[in-house]
Structures are given as structure tokens and as C-alpha cells.
Amino acid sequence: MNRLKDDLDRELQQQIFLKNDVKRRMLEQAENPTKKLHSNWRYPVVLVACTSVLILFAILLFQDVGGYEKVVTGAEADSGLQLDWLIELLPFVIFGVIILSMVKFFQPFELPVCENCHEEWSWRVSIKKMFILNRAMSCPSCGENQYQTRKSRIRMSQLVLLSNVVLLINAFFDFYWWEIVLMYVAIIATAFMLLPYNLKLQNDEDINLW
């Protein structure tokens, strides 16, 4: 009986210590606010990556057209090749616009913040927490379980579904297999970089009504 009482007292003291530690961190953060490092550098990185992919596509297409121009001669052939070159470049322009629209629509640029201790999670921690099987995500600062909000899950689903845009574009234009692979890589990399900024946390788990 005494041992059980001692164990209960020990657990109670540990919980009180943890709560006091969280309160102390919150007071220190309120007294000495630190400036958050904005991660706006990721926005130009995405733009540069997408622009580089589009330029690579344009160069490869231009080389193919240039080799074909050496075989076919005449004014009519030249005008036809220019038109074909524009038609070949059109889907990549559409793809670039879609990528930029993704960045513009999913650009809160705010990393998730724990609702219990109000500590901001890093990009790497957010990625790790998102890909766990359990819906509860423990905060690395206070250890309390956090849950993704319903709105955040909807936005992430929309972001993942945008990967099917490549199949939609391919239905209207013919691509080589390596072009489709590069498009998928560009869209997955963009979504992977934007996912943590669309993760919003709450203390309680949403109740499923279905």
C-alpha cells in the first residue's frame, strides 16, 4: 500500500514539474521574445527550380527542332517548324503557370505552432510528424499531443491531388516518358516544400460524424 502511494506521489510530482517547466518556458518566451526567422527564401527557391525546369525543356525542344531544321529546308518548312515549336512549348508554359499557382495558393509561410506551449515547429520536425501513422503528433517541446485541423487536412488533400494535373496535360499533349517524370518530380518537390506551411495544429482531435 505504501509503495503504491509512493508511486502515485512520484507521478504527481513529475506531472507538476512538467507543467511548471512548460509555464516557465512560456514566461521566458513572453519576457524575452525572439524574432522568428522567416522562411521566405523557400519561395524564390521554388521559383528558380520551376524556371530551371522550364528552361531545360525549352533547350531540349529547341535542340530537337534545330536538328530537324537541317534536314527540312524552305520558307514553308521554317514557318511550320516555328509553329510546331510553339505548340510543343505550350504545355510546359501551362505547367509552369500551374506550379506558380500552387505556390501562390498554398503560401501561408507560417510553420505550425503548438497550441499548448506556443512553440513553433521547425520545417524538418513538421515533415517527420506528418508522415507518422498515428494521428496524434507529440510536440517536441512540451510533449503534449497535437492534432491536425480539419481545414489543414483539406488543403493538404488539394495539394496532393494537384499531382494529377500532369495526367490531365498529357491527355491533350503527347510527352516523352522523361518529360512526364520531370513534371512529376517538379510537382512532388513543390508540394513537399509547401506541406509543412499548411499544417495547423489543435489540442483536441476532431470527432468524425460518419
Could you list the mean pLDDT of each consecutive 10-residue stretch along the chain, which spans 210 residues?
Answer: 62 59 60 47 60 63 51 48 60 71 68 84 84 78 84 79 73 73 78 81 68
CA-CA distance, 65 to 77, in Å (whole number)? 11
pLDDT of residue 169: 72
C-alpha cell of residue 198? 499548411
Kindly report each contact of residues 151-157 with a partner whose C-beta sits within 8 Å and lies 24 or more positions away, as own/partner: 151/200, 152/198, 152/199, 152/200, 155/106, 155/198, 156/195, 156/198, 156/199
pLDDT of residue 39: 47
pLDDT of residue 47: 61
pLDDT of residue 4: 60
pLDDT of residue 14: 61
